[in-house]
Structure 1
Amino acid sequence: MTPVGVRLPWDLITSEARVLLHPSGPCETLMIDVLGRLPKVVGIDVVEMALWAKENNPTVTTQRNQQDGPVAATVTESDLKVTVERELVSQAEEEDMEALLGTYVMGIGEAEAFSERLKRELLALEAANVHAILESEPMVDEVLQGLEAATNCVDDMDEWLSIFNVKLRHMREDIESIETRNNKLEMQSVNNKSLIEELDRLLERLRVPSEYAACLTGGSFDEARMLQNVEACEWLTGALRGLEVPNLDPIYANMRAVREKRAELEKLKTTFVRRASEFLRNYFASLVDFMISDKSYFSQRGQLKRPDHADLRYKCRTYARLLQHLKSLDKKCLGTLRKAYCSSLNLLLRREAREFANELRASTKASRNPSVWLEGSSGSGHGGHSDTSPVSDAYAKMLTIFIPLLVDESSFFAHFMCFEVPTLVSPGGVPNGNRSDDDTNDDDLGIMDIDENDSKADKNSADLATLNEALQELLNGIQEDFYAVVDWAYKIDPLRCISMHGITERYLSGQKADAAGFVRLLLGDLESRISMQFGRFVDEACHQIERNERNVRQMGVLSYIPRFATLATRMEQYIQGQSRDLVDQAYTKFVSIMFVTLEKIAQTDPKYADIFLLENYAAFQNSLYDLANVVPTLAKFYHQASEAYEQACTRHISMIIYYQFERLFQFARKIEDLMYTITPEEIPFQLGLSKMDLRKMLKSSLSGVDKSIAAMYKKLQKNLTSEELLPSLWDKCKKEFLDKYDSFAQLVAKVYPNETIPSVAEMRDLLASM
């Protein structure tokens, strides 16, 4: 209910009243206390209030207490909050208010009295307003009736809305229930459809095609039926794999139908593996029996037959994919199949090697050379030796034919029998031209195409060990025929062991494939056997050298010295490949025994020991001069013999010189001994070294010196059997004598300066004239 407005003439309101009537003045507080709100002022022109406010902008001074005292602040009236209704008072209303306020003349300190007066007038005005309202009772009753009717309508509408709200809530709940049931039905439909599809797939996995079941349980293994057998194996492998947990949902793994079907498939697998294994064992044996019964497969008298396994491998390759599937079905069954294959093929390989080796030895024409090379008896080693190269050629042919064959068989077996090992390379160490195009084409037997999933299998050490064990069984016994060829060649010419050793080393260095382990073992055994046989030859030759020690009174050059040169020359001719070490070891053993035996024989007659040694060491150097220039091992022994020769020469020449001029050089030795303790001037006064003694010694030693030198030459020539050594020995003897005489002359000049003896130049001229 809006209160009646109070109209006051604006021009009657004094300035003090204006301050009181200001919204921030005490009137505001008073009106709020009485009315609970600010009164609405009407009848004042808004424009007039604005103009007046513009012209009369009083300054209000306020004080604020601070720490240093009150501070005056000037605030304009425009800064004060003036609350005005929508319109400002007019000019006329403003004048009326000023006139009204002008009637009240009072100071600013009478504000409380003025406030009380205004409050009373306000109450009077409110009473007048109430009275006016009471006078308008009919109108109020009518308004109240209208309000009551409206309230009734509102109540009815509220009740009606409540009813509809309940109905709507029930309808919403029904709709939600219907939607929930529809969603459940739809989900159930989808789940039923998915379940039916899943069951169909499961039933499809559990279904065993009749054609595959018949093939697995009773089908034939003929070559024409192998495609159907392989397809059945592939299906069975996939079916078993499909019922395993990684490929099958774990919730199905324990279903009764799945367990029964798995048991049925396991039974099919066991039956098929048993039938296939039995067939393959019999098949391998029948293939080999057929080839062994046909003599045309092997070497015959007058005809060397190269083993050909192309047809055998082709027939086996027909069942290679079947073996792959047998491995995936039951890996244990491969053990018996591998043993069956190895035992069958071993018979064929041994028969081929035996027939080939027998015919190879029978068709090789080579006369036997004597094994006594360094024996002292005459005629045992000087004669010409026949050409025994066909012997080593036969051995090389044996390796050329069978080593690639054995490597290929190892490779074929490794991949045919599903060993997870690296692919074998072509067998190395084979001389160019020794392998035909057919052999090259047979190296790749298509085994790597059997199962593409296994083509890049990593090296499996356990599988490799199993493979080598199987290869041992596959090829065991064939080494005996190689040994027979080695022994046969040794009997014909022991030196051919050198050539065979080099050939074996070349083949051995070419075998790098791990799957051909037995072939490397075979070559290693052959190398050891050849080294053993050659060691036997070296030991026998050394024994022949040692026999010379037992002979009494050896003179001249021993027979084994030149024979060793002949032997070394032939050994160098037989060296091939890396057999240098074998020969160098033999040289070391030979020469060591020769030098030891030579020294022992020389000790039996010390009088002629130096002559015996120098002649033999000289003969050793002369016979090995050419070889020592190209063979480091022989060069080392050549220098050793040269040093021993020089030592023997020095000893023998000194002995001859001292024998002819003993008093001369003994006198010089006495002087040399005394010069360590006394001065040269005192020596002539020593017993036996006076000037008279010197003159007597010179007379007895140097009178007829030409005869003494001639006697020395004759003595040097007397026991020397090698006349070609005499000039060099005589030159050494003259040089040694001049050196000794020069030393003697220097001693005489130092100790006996006044004595005259033949000069060194005279003695040199005399020796030169002899």
Structure 2
Amino acid sequence: MAKSSADDEELRRACEAAIEGTKQKIVMSIRVSKSRGIWGKSGRLGRNMAKPRVLALSVKSKGQETEAFLRVLKYSSGGVLEPAKLYKLKHLSKVEVVTNDPSGCTFTLGFDNLRSQSVAPPQWTMRNIDDRNRLLLCILNICKDVLGCLPKIVGVDIVEMALWAKENTPSVTTQRNLQDGPVATAVTESDLKVSVEKELVSQAEEEDMEALLGTYVMGIGEAEAFSERLKRELQALEAANVHAILESQPLVDEVLQGLEEATSCVDDMDDWLGMFNVKLRHMREDIESIETRNNKLEMQSVNNKALIEELDKLLERMRVPSEYAACLTGGSFDEARMPQNVEACEWLTGALRALQVPNLDPAYAKMRAVKDKRAELEKLKATFVRRASEFLRNYFASLVDFMISDKSYFSQRGQLKRPDHADLRYKCRTYARLLQHLKSLDKSCLGHLRKAYCSSLNLLLRREAREFANELRASTKASRNPTVWLEASTGGSQSGNSADTSAVSDAYAKMLTIFIPLLVDESSFFSHFMCFEVPALTGAVPNGSKGGSYDDDTNDDDLGIMDIDDNDSKAGKTSADLQSLNESLQDLLDGIQEDFYAVVDWAYKIDPLRCISMHGITERYLSGQKADAAGFVRLLLGALESRISMQFSRFVDEACHQIERNERNVRQVGALSYIPRFATLATRMEQYIQGQSRDLVDQAYTKFVSVMFATLEKLAQADPKYADILLLENYAAFQNSLYDLANVVPTLAKFYHQASEAYEQACTRHISMIIYYQFERLFQFYQKIEDLMFTISAEEIPFQLGLSKMDLRKMLKSSLSGVDKSIAAMYKKLQKNLTSEELLPSLWDKCKKEFLDKYDSFAQLVAKIYPTETIPSVSEMRDLLASM
């Protein structure tokens, strides 16, 4: 018999090389043929042809466990084995020998974890039955020892395989050196290879099978004869069993008699048990009835006790203590009685809340007693709210009337009185807690109380502001400055400009220093006292303000109470309360702005420029107020700022009107009067700037200068002959008077550069006019040649009419003979109409330079057109001008 491929060591080494790195050990490797059989799904011939493959069984140790694998290897194009498929033996479910192969060498392996069970598994064909049995036996041994279970085997007899294994297990002899010498030991192939390859049938089972088979060795020729013999023996055994059963009949009868006697005893026992069961059932029903009645009585007792307790609690809620009822309906509101009133309010608030559904069981809410008691409490609440509201309205009015009637409380002649509301607030704090309870009882009543408080306190605040403003103006000594600043007439109006009017702005600052903190504090106290749910109102006095900050009492807005309505949600109320607060503050402080306006108007009449200082002071106070400050105070400061800006704009408009009123019938010479006056005005305006008033002053500068320049241009157009002289002298005067201020004030620097450009343009026009007037023929001749050069060549120009060489000589003789006299005449003409002598040197230098530039252009043109003619050189003319 040919050697099996399972014993091929070269094949085993090739398989181990193919799976190198997997840490798996080859147990067996054998060559097979793979085919799909005639039942495969694919109809292609190539899919049905047998392909050479190698099946290898491998194991891998993983800790205490061992994993077994079936590997399919195929030959590559180079004849090298490479892995093709890998199956885990723990998923092997069936081994089936294909019946279509008569040789029995073809089998299939079924795995339960394949994704597609509809595809026919591959068929493996061995070379012979021995190779098939050897492979299948190795698979079954591994499954039994490693996995502990065997797959289903179809088409092959397991006993037949066991016999084959016993016959075909080779034995080899190994030598062991012991003390007695070498001993021959029979070792099976499985013991030499891998421990997992053991026998399928144990030794005891094998001996039993041999004994059984040995019994039937005699006369067994064919399977049919053996089967007939077994049938006959089975029938003999059954007949013997029937005979044994029939012989035991007396014993059976005796047992049946005993069973009948036991049955009669059981029936008697059943009757007795039935009787006892009926009696027990009746007794159980009686016990249940007694227990039910007992439970009902006990439950009724518990319910009655709980009901009594609940009714006691409800009655306690509905009981009105006599002392509280008397206090709510007819008690006094004197200061000594306020603790009792507050205590009664707290009880009433708690009693009303206790009868509301969230705090009261909804089942009680519809009870008549609860409804009647709630109506009684509502009546008590209405009575108390009406009485308290009426008392507080009268109380606020009486407090203010008492303070107004005392004249020593206000500013008097020769004495400025700082308003002091400490006593007023102290008396109001007595009723702050009462107002909190009134809000929780009936929020609608607060509207009337707020109006009453605002109307009463408004009278006091306006009286204080009016008396303070009147005395402030009367006690401030300041000479009045004229409002005529930029008019054309020159008189004694300038003398008043140097008067010190700082007392005016100081008086305005003092008014703000005293009253703005007072108004902020009053707004803050009012918002807390009248129970507005808004953020705390705070005010700040800007740094540097004269007179200090108003602080008549520490923590004036701290009423020493907490919000008793803790359960009310604050969200969503702030905006509505803030709007209501602003409306109330309008009533509280409305009208007081007129006294501030009076101070502003008074200061404007004394010195309009003090509007700049007042504007800066107002801006500082406005920026010092926080975003949450009293809204009306910010509105008041904004209105004051607008009023000051309006008055200052009025002053600027009047000054601009004075500029525009300059006499146009008389010829203007020299610098106009409003230019130096504007410099004086700008200097003083810069001295008055405080804080953020820069924009106000810059706007005034822009309007002043725009009107000044526009008026200057109009006056120049009225007298064209002397227009450039008027312009250059006035623009020069503007630059000279504002040189120092333009270096520090960006707005004036812009206008300074604008005047400089206009001055240069006027100088250029005036100098050109003087030069052309004195050397008219010379430059006319030059202009004709220059015009012709655009149409004809330079060689043709001497042949034109009036441009011949003879004409050139005549023109030079008339224009340049006695040129020193012409230049002297030019100087005299420049000097004649100039009022500002200090401008003459610079103008004469500009004139000489302009004349030299024009003469240089003329000399170059003559040298190009008339190369043979000679004229005085430019250097000669320069020397002549330098000697003049």
TM-score by length of 1: 0.82
CA deviations 1:298-339 (Å, max 9, x no partner) are: 001110000010110111011111111101111110111001
Give the structure 1 partner of residue 535 of structure 2.
Answer: 422
Partner of 1:393: 506
* Pairs aligned (count): 671
Q: Is the 8 A contact 1:490 1:496 kept in 2?
A: yes
SS at match of 1:643: helix
SS of the residue 2:443 aligns to: coil
| Contact 2:613-2:689 within 8 A present in 1 as well | yes
Partner of 2:88: none
The residue aligned with 1:523 is 637
Q: Distance in 2 between matches of 1:118 and 1:291?
A: 138
TM-aligned CA deviation for residue 437 of structure 1: 7.8
Aligned to 1:603: 717
Q: What's the CA shift string for 1:150-195, capped at 9, x where partnerless?
A: 6665444332222212222222222222333333233222222222
Amino acid at match of 1:256: R
2: CA distance between counterparts of 1:303 and 1:599? Answer: 55
Q: Is the 8 A contact 1:429 1:506 kept in 2?
A: yes
Q: Which amino acid aligns with 1:662?
A: E
Asked if 1:727 corresponds to 2:859, the answer is no
User: Is 2:373 aligned against 1:261?
Assistant: yes
Q: Distance in 1 between matches of 2:514 and 2:291?
A: 88
CA distance in 2, matches of 1:330, 1:114: 112
Q: Give the whole-Å Cα distance in 1 for the aligned partners of 2:365 and 2:550.
A: 56
The yes-or-no answer on 1:501 pairing with 2:615 is yes
Alpha-carbon RMSD across the aligned residues, in angstroms, is 3.1
Distance 1:148 1:470 in 2: 113
Alignment of 1:350-389 (within 5 A): 350-383=462-495, 384-389=497-502
**Shift, 1:678, TM fit:** 1.4
Matching of residue 679 in structure 1 with residue 793 in structure 2: yes
Letter in 2 for 1:540: E
Q: Distance in 2 between matches of 1:714 and 1:120?
A: 177
Contact preservation (8 Å) 1:549, 1:597: no
On the 8 A contact 1:549/1:601 being kept in 2, the answer is no
1:681–1:751: structure 2 CA closer, same or farther, 3 Å change rule?
A: same
Deviation of 1:465 (Å): 1.1
Find 1:231's aligned residue among 343, 354, 357: 343
2:469 alignment partner AA? A
Q: Which stretch shows the higher mean deviation, 433-442 or 118-127?
A: 118-127
State the SS of the aligned residue for 1:680.
coil
Query: What CA deviation, in whole Å up to 9, does each residue of 1:346-386 have, x standing for no partner?
Result: 00000000000000000000000111001111124432521
Matched, 1:480 2:579: no
Say which structure is richer in helix: 1
In structure 1, the gaps of 5 or more residues are: 1-65, 83-107
Tell me by how many angstroms 1:116 deviates.
9.4
Task: Name the CA shift for 1:483/1:151 in 2 (closer, same or farther; >3 Å).
Answer: closer
Greater share of residues in strand: 2
- Conservation of the 8 A alpha-carbon contact between 2:514 and 2:550: no
Q: In structure 2, which of residues 679, 682, 701 is the aligned counterpart of residue 568 of structure 1? A: 682
In structure 2, how many angstroms separate the alpha carbons of the residues matched to 1:486 and 1:118? Answer: 142
For the 8 Å contact 1:303–1:359, the answer to whether it is kept is: yes
Matched, 1:316 2:422: no
Which residue is 1:511 aligned to? 625
Change (3 A) 1:712 1:456: farther
Which of 746, 750, 756 in structure 2 is aligned with 1:636?
750
Which has more radius of gyration?
1
Is residue 652–residue 700 contact of structure 2 (8 Å, CA) maintained in 1?
yes
Q: Give the match's secondary structure for 1:439.
A: coil
SS at match of 2:626: coil
Q: Deviations over 1:101-122 (max 9, x none)?
A: xxxxxxx989989979996998
Q: Distance in 1 between matches of 2:551 and 2:567?
A: 27
The verdict on how the C-alpha distance between 1:451 and 1:241 changes in structure 2, with shifts beyond 3 A counting, is closer
Match of 1:617 in 2: 731
Contact 1:554 1:601 in 2 (8 A): yes
Measured after TM superposition, the shift of residue 78 of structure 1 is: 5.5
Q: Answer yes or no: is 1:244 the counterpart of 2:356.
A: yes
2:697 aligned to which of 564, 568, 583: 583
AA matched with 2:447: G
**Alignment deviations for residues 99-152 of structure 1 (CA, whole Å, 9 cap, x no partner):** xxxxxxxxx98998997999699879958x77x899xx9xx89x96x9887666
Query: Aligned partner of 1:511: which letter?
Result: Q
Contact preservation (8 Å) 2:615, 2:693: yes
Shift of 1:440: 6.2
Contact 1:549 1:600 in 2 (8 A): no
- 1:280 matched to 2:392: yes
The structure-2 alpha-carbon separation of the partners of 1:749 and 1:120, relative to structure 1 and needing over 3 Å to count, comes to closer
User: Would the alpha carbon gap of residues 303 and 452 (structure 1) be closer, same or farther in structure 2, given more than 3 Å must change?
Assistant: farther
Q: Which residue of 2 aligns with 1:56?
A: none
Distance in 2 (CA, whole Å) between partners of 1:189 and 1:734 is: 133
- Pick closer, same or farther for the CA change 1:551–1:583 going to 2, 3 Å: farther
- Are 2:831 and 1:700 equivalent residues in the alignment? no
Distance 1:720 1:452 in 2: 87
**Corresponding residue for 1:331?**
443
- Alpha-carbon deviations, 1:719-763, whole Å to 9, x = none? 101000000000000000000011111101111111111111111
Distance in structure 2 (CA, Å) of the matches to 1:405 and 1:114:
130
Amino acid at match of 1:238: G
Partners of 1:152 and 1:439 lie apart in 2 by 118
In the TM superposition, 1:178-257 aligns within 5 A as 178-257=290-369
8 Å Cα contact 1:381/1:563 also seen in 2: no
**Equivalent position amino acid for 2:350 in 1:** G
Matched residues in 1 for 2:287 and 2:783: separation? Answer: 147
Q: Given that residues 778 and 812 in structure 2 are in contact (C-alpha distance below 8 angstroms), is that contact kept between their aligned partners in structure 1?
A: yes
| Partner SS for 1:664 | helix
TM-aligned CA deviation for residue 203 of structure 1: 1.1
Q: Does structure 2 conserve the Cα–Cα contact (< 8 Å) formed by 1:448 and 1:455?
A: no
Alpha-carbon distance in 1 for matches of 2:611, 2:597: 12
Letter in 2 for 1:536: R
* Aligned position for 1:15: none
1:67–1:737 Cα change, 3 Å: closer
**Alignment partner of 1:297 out of 401, 409, 428:** 409
Structure 2: runs of 5 or more not aligned: 1-153, 164-204, 213-227
Offset of 1:249 from its aligned partner?
A: 1.1
Q: Which residue of 2 aligns with 1:99?
A: none
Post-superposition shift, 1:684? 0.9
Q: In percent, how many aligned pairs have the same letter? A: 81
Native 8 Å contact 2:433 2:561 kept in 1: no
Question: Is the CA contact (8 Å cut-off) linking 1:324 and 1:450 kept in structure 2?
Answer: yes
Which of 741, 760, 767 is the aligned partner of 2:874? 760
* 2:604 partner amino acid: Y
Are the counterparts in 2 of residues 371 and 537 from structure 1 also a CA contact under 8 Å?
yes
The CA deviation at 1:550 is 3.3
Kept after mapping to 2: 8 A contact 1:426/1:443 = no
1:310–1:442 CA contact under 8 A, matched in 2: no
3-state SS of the aligned residue for 1:306? coil
Whole-Å Cα distance in 2 between the matches of residues 419 and 389 of structure 1? Answer: 42
